[in-house]
Amino acid sequence: DSVYGIMYDVHYGWLMQYMHVDGVSLIFVLLYIHMARGMLYGSYRAPRELVWVIGYTIYLAFMAEAFFGYILPYSNLSYWAGTVITSLFKSIPFIGEWVTTLVRGGSGMSGDTLDRFMALHVTVVFLVIVGLIVFHILYLHKVGSNNPDGLEIKANKGPDGHPVDAIPFHPYYSVKDLFGFGVWLFIFAAIIFYAPTVHHIFLERTMSTPANPLKSLPDVTPPWYLSPFYAMLRAIPNKNGGIILMVVAVVFPFILPWLDRNPVISTRYRPITRIMLIIFFANFLMLAYLGEQPPLPKYFILERVGAVIYVAFFILLPFVSKFEPTRTPPARVRFRAH
């Protein structure tokens, strides 16, 4: 009722609602692009390991923030999605039931659950994200940004002690960022005014149905930005096995900086790793698609294949990166004329 009140009774409430819903999806689009670029350029390598770890933690915090916000409308889909996700805590040995009751505020989803999730969504997780972003930027400023060639510009300094290949952030990059922000804002506005649901990818049809504990849904799927991990969760029929696989899939990127052992950082000069990354990205998109599909046998096989490819990338990377042939990177960063 509160969502309908905002949409139809508050002046420009519909605009605020669509900005909130569509903004989440577009933020995750930027996060995925940002992380993919970092993996291609080797931005997770030393001395930027902590930058990568903090950045990935920000991504997980955004996932938690989005999940809590997804439950708050208390539609039938969000109710059962919350029931499914919170029930995963029951798999924790010895204290699973206690943790589940603590998270829900009772034996099942209720108003107490919404109070908890509202506090987490509006205050706790939000402040955590802000703090992590500040720490992320400060540490990046300390170690310096990476570049497409993966070269350490601080290794080549001039008589004044400054890197000879470094250029000021303003105006060279601030102008580019303003242009990129303008393009993002144009796409954001076009989606809000002309296609706010994006063919029901950003906003599902069933989100308008009130929560009904007596009417379960035949198919409960998470938002698209969480669906790759959901696909891996249900790739294994055994509940505990699926949870273990999903946890492993979430943890692997944390240790990525220590899995890559090649002295060459950027994949521009590492053709095998570059091919592996392209396959990894394509596989991740496939898992995102499969996670949005109903639980049919024809999709289970693909989900298992996708899960194997995802895990195999991280397992094979230490061996491939150690022995793969590489091209010699340039001695200095190559600039295009500004």
Q: Tokens 């061996």: give the residue.
A: 319
pLDDT classification of 332: cutoffs 50, 70, 90: confident
Same domain for 209 and 314, yes or no, is: no
Residue 230 lies in a domain: yes
Last residue of a domain, one of 196, 218, 240: 218
Q: What percent of the chain has pLDDT over 70?
A: 98
Residue 335 lies in a domain: no
- Is 90 exceeded by the pLDDT of residue 83? yes
Q: Tell which of 165, 194, 218 closes a domain.
A: 218
CB atoms within 10 A of CB 97: 12
CATH number where 154 lies: 1.20.810.10
Q: Do 159 and 207 belong to one domain?
A: yes
pLDDT surpasses 70 at 143: yes
Residues 185 and 230 reside in one and the same domain: no
Chain-centroid distance, C-alpha 126: 16
Q: Are residues 58 and 25 in the same domain?
A: yes
Task: Tell me: do 238 and 92 sit in the same domain.
Answer: no
**112 & 240 share domain:** no
**Residue 158 — very low, low, confident or very high, per pLDDT cuts 50/70/90?**
confident
Q: How many domains does the chain divide into?
A: 2
Q: What's residue 156's pLDDT?
A: 84
Same domain, 193 and 274: no
Q: What is the pLDDT of residues 178-204, one digit of tens each?
A: 999 999 999 999 999 999 999 989 988
The predicted model gives 90-111 an average pLDDT of: 94
- 90 plus 63 within the same structural domain: yes
CB 105, CB 118: distance < 8 Å? no
Question: For residue 120, is it within any domain?
Answer: yes
Tell me the CB-side half-sphere exposure of residue 72, using CA atoms within 13 A.
Answer: 20
Lowest mean pLDDT among 132-136, 241-245, 333-337: 333-337
Is 277 a residue whose pLDDT tops 80? yes
State which of 117-121, 154-158, 235-239 shows the largest mean pLDDT: 117-121
Asked whether residue 243 is assigned to any structural domain, the reply reads: yes
Q: How confident is the model at residue 149 (pLDDT cuts 50, 70, 90)?
A: very high
**Is residue 337 included in any domain, yes or no?**
no
Residue 139 lies in a domain: yes
Same domain, 106 and 232: no
Domain span at 302: 221-327
Residues 16 and 115 in one domain: yes
- Given a cut of 90, whether residue 157 has pLDDT beyond it is no
Per-residue confidence (pLDDT) for residue 161, from 0 to 100: 82
Quick check: 32 pLDDT over 80? yes
3-state secondary structure 302-331: HHHHHHHHHHHHHHHHHHHHHHCCCCCCCC
**Residue 322 domain-assigned?**
yes
Whole-prediction pTM: 0.95
One domain, residues 30 and 160: yes
Same domain, yes or no: 49 and 164: yes
Start-to-end CA distance of the chain, whole Å, equals 54
Q: Does a structural domain hold residue 338?
A: no
Q: Among 218, 241, 272, give the residue marking a domain's end.
A: 218
Average pLDDT rounded to a whole number, residues 155-174: 86
Cβ proximity of 331 and 153 under 8 Å: no
Q: What is the CATH number of the domain that holds 236?
A: 1.10.287
pLDDT given at position 78: 92
pLDDT (average), residues 153-163: 85
Average confidence (pLDDT) over 241-248: 96
